Amino acid sequence: MQSKVDAPCPQCLKDDALTMLAMSSEIPYFGEHTQITVICESCGWKHTDFIPSDGEKPGYSSLIVDNPEKCSARVVRSSSGTIRIPQLELEVSPGGSSSGFVSNVEGVIKRFEDAVGSILRGNADDENIVQASLELLESLRKMKSGSSHFLIELLDPRGRSQIIHNDAIIRDLMENEIQSLDIGPEVPVFEMR
Ligand SMILES: [Zn+2]
């Protein structure tokens, strides 16, 4: 389904430039969901999100990644999901990166690597940042290869995200967790349903 969006682009503020694509599909163990992509034909802004069809999921899921097989566990992250690797104090929050994605644990680590890589390139003359970034990249490399165990957490107060694995812990969010989360700007078109 493709439709025009009756709202200005959040980036370039142009009217009549947004188009929304909605597509239903099935992710194994996550279930039926609608993938929504909004694109601005004027400036190229793009936003993707996932909305489960059968209601909200519990807000918290986590997985201890202690063997390479778990690196391929599916990760469905909607625009309101926060991903944390507490051991490295790394976090992808809705404020920083608001588009949703379906990936796996390895793909999430790759995203962290890319983010650290661009910090490194942007601060090549700051010795402290360079050193810290290189250490982070080395830790992430070990995690990706399965030689270092770690916990990965996904928190989503809108209940649209999940880590999918038999060993994942899935529960509701606790009050203090909800308060620590940034749920990001809600793109108005996602309220139409
Ligand atoms: Zn735009």
DSSP the chain: -EEE-SS--TTT--TT-EEEEEEEEEETTTEEEEEEEEEETTT--EEEEEEETT-PPPSEEEEEE-SGGGGG-EEEE-TT-EEEEGGGTEEE-TTT----EEEEHHHHHHHHHHHHHHHHHHTTT-HHHHHHHHHHHHHHHHHHHTSS-EEEEEE-TTS--EEE-TT-EEEPPPHHHHHT----PPPGGGG--
Q: Is pLDDT larger for residue 92 or for residue 62?
A: 62
> Residue 101 Cα, ligand 1 centroid: separation in angstroms?
21
> Residue 44 Cα, ligand 1 centroid: separation in angstroms?
6
> Residue 139 Cα, ligand 1 centroid: separation in angstroms?
37
Q: What is the per-residue pLDDT across 29-63, written as a single tens digit (0 to 9) for each?
A: 888 999 999 999 999 998 888 889 888 899 999 99
- What pLDDT does residue 10 have? 86
> Residue 90 Cα, ligand 1 centroid: separation in angstroms?
30
pTM (two decimals): 0.84
> Residue 41 Cα, ligand 1 centroid: separation in angstroms?
7
123 has pLDDT over 80: yes
> Residue 19 Cα, ligand 1 centroid: separation in angstroms?
11
Per-domain boundaries in the chain: 55-191
> Residue 27 Cα, ligand 1 centroid: separation in angstroms?
30
> Residue 20 Cα, ligand 1 centroid: separation in angstroms?
13
The CATH class of 55-191 is mainly beta
Identify the band that residue 192 occupies on the pLDDT scale cut at 50, 70 and 90: very low
155 has pLDDT over 70: yes
